[in-house]
């Protein structure tokens, strides 16, 4: 019996709590081959995010996945903050996950790993970008023909009609590196943006944590423990009750097809790279809303504007599929 070919996926991330959810969710997906991870500053330093990615992958026995350390600063300017207030000082919710992983990041840089994997999987490689887009911007600059080698890029980031989370106008991944984001979104490859408009409406609650706690697997226990920190960060400030989004995991669900968007037109997206109050905003041309959100001819990005809200249950099912309750 021939097995269907797995889809090669590279994750570019700033492994934090929801990045970890995305890595574990993809690892549990039989039709996905997680071929590599590149890390970037954002939730923590790129190097700490690499260690965090290795810590998480070790939970599910995936120490074979190459993890490369990427950019520690944006294309323009310096790092303005690291989101330790949202993801904890270690980046994984200070949930006690052992720091002494056996695996180490590879010697390759993030750009070198992207170059190698996009050559090995030319035309098929899918990229899940769930941190600031600096690594991909550097890769576009350094690797001739990269957009032809990459099947598509699914990005967690931005806000179309919703407010930002790092400022009223800007979402964290984008405002960390607006110039990098503009470079990636405007490049000649297929991009899908999964913005706060949908990620803030797919909410994890204590019911989901109860299901994770009942599972008994190390990955479910870790996600439950780390999400406690996330609940504290998002619960009072954003939702007013104990809960959190699962931003990056939802983007991973869009990539796998587990999440079938209700509304996702191909439209024009421009990133505000000025130094005003709108810096880092993703200006999405949603003016086709009055005719059913039809696509804009020549639009540069598919933007997921509406999903059905059922992903948290899909995520919990994936995280608890490995072991009996
Ligand atoms: O704004 C949410 C995004 O910023 C997520 O990717 C989170 O992990 C942080 O990187
Ligand atoms: Ca992230």
Q: Is 166 in the pocket of ligand 1 (CB under 6 A)?
A: no
Active site residue 247: yes
pLDDT in tens, 230-273: 999 998 779 999 999 999 999 999 999 999 999 999 999 999 99
Query: Which of 172, 227, 253, when mutated, tests ligand 1's pocket best, judged by the most ligand atoms within 8 Å of its CB?
Result: 172
Looking at the CA of 18, which ligand is closest? 1
Distance 14 CA to ligand 1 centre (A): 8
Q: Work out the end-to-end distance of the chain between its first and last CA atoms, rounded to an integer number of angstroms.
A: 31
pLDDT at 322 over 90: no
pLDDT (0 to 100) of residue 108: 98
Domain boundaries, the chain: 7-320
Specify burial of residue 235 (Cβ count, 10 A radius: 0-12, 13-18, 19+): middle
How many CB atoms neighbour CB 48 within 10 A?
23
Confidence of residue 101 (pLDDT cuts 50, 70, 90): confident
Q: Is 13 in the pocket of ligand 1 (CB under 6 A)?
A: no
Q: Are strands 7-13 and 269-271 parallel, antiparallel or unpaired?
A: unpaired
One CATH from 1.10.760.10, 3.100.10.20, 3.90.245.10, 3.40.50.300 for 7-320: 3.90.245.10
pLDDT (0 to 100) of residue 2: 67
pLDDT at 325 over 50: no
Residue 114 CA from chain centroid, whole number? 16
pLDDT in tens, 123-154: 999 999 999 999 999 999 999 999 999 999 99
Q: Is 249 in the pocket of ligand 1 (CB under 6 A)?
A: no
Distance 291 CA to ligand 1 centre (A): 32
Distance 15 CA to ligand 2 centre (A): 6
Give the closest residue (by CA) to ligand 1 atom 2: 172
Angle at 15 between CA 60 and CA 139, to 5 degrees: 110
């Amino acid at each position: 019996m021939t097995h269907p070919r797995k889809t090669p996926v590279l994750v570019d991330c700033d492994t934090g709590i929801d990045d970890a959810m995305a890595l574990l969710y993809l690892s549990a997906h039989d039709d996905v081959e997680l071929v590599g991870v590149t890390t970037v500053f954002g939730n923590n330093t790129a190097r700490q995010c690499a260690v965090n990615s290795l810590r998480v992958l070790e939970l599910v026995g995936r120490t074979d996945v190459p993890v490369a350390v990427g950019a520690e600063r944006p294309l323009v300017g310096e790092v303005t903050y690291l989101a330790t207030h949202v993801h904890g000082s270690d980046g994984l919710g200070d949930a006690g996950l052992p720091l002494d992983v056996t695996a180490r990041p590879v010697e390759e840089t993030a750009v070198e790993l992207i170059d190698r994997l996009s050559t090995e999987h030319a035309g098929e490689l899918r990229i899940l970008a769930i941190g600031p887009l600096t690594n991909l911007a550097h890769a576009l600059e350094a690797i001739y023909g990269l957009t032809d080698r990459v099947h598509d890029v699914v990005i967690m980031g931005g806000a179309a009609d919703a407010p930002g989370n790092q400022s009223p106008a800007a979402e964290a991944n984008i405002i960390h590196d607006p110039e990098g984001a503009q470079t990636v979104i405007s490049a000649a490859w297929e991009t899908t943006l999964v913005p706060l408009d949908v990620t803030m409406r797919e909410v994890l609650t204590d019911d989901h944590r109860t299901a994770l706690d009942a599972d008994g697997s190390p990955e479910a226990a870790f996600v439950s423990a780390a999400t406690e920190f996330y609940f504290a960060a998002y619960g009072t400030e954003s939702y007013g009750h104990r809960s959190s989004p699962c931003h990056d995991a939802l983007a991973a669900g869009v990539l796998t097809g587990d999440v079938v968007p209700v509304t996702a037109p191909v439209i024009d997206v421009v990133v505000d790279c000025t130094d005003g109050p709108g810096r880092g905003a993703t200006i999405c041309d949603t003016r086709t809303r009055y005719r059913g959100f039809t696509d804009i001819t020549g639009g540069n990005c598919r933007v997921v504007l509406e999903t059905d809200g059922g992903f948290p249950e899909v995520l919990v099912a994936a995280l608890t599929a490995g072991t009996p309750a």
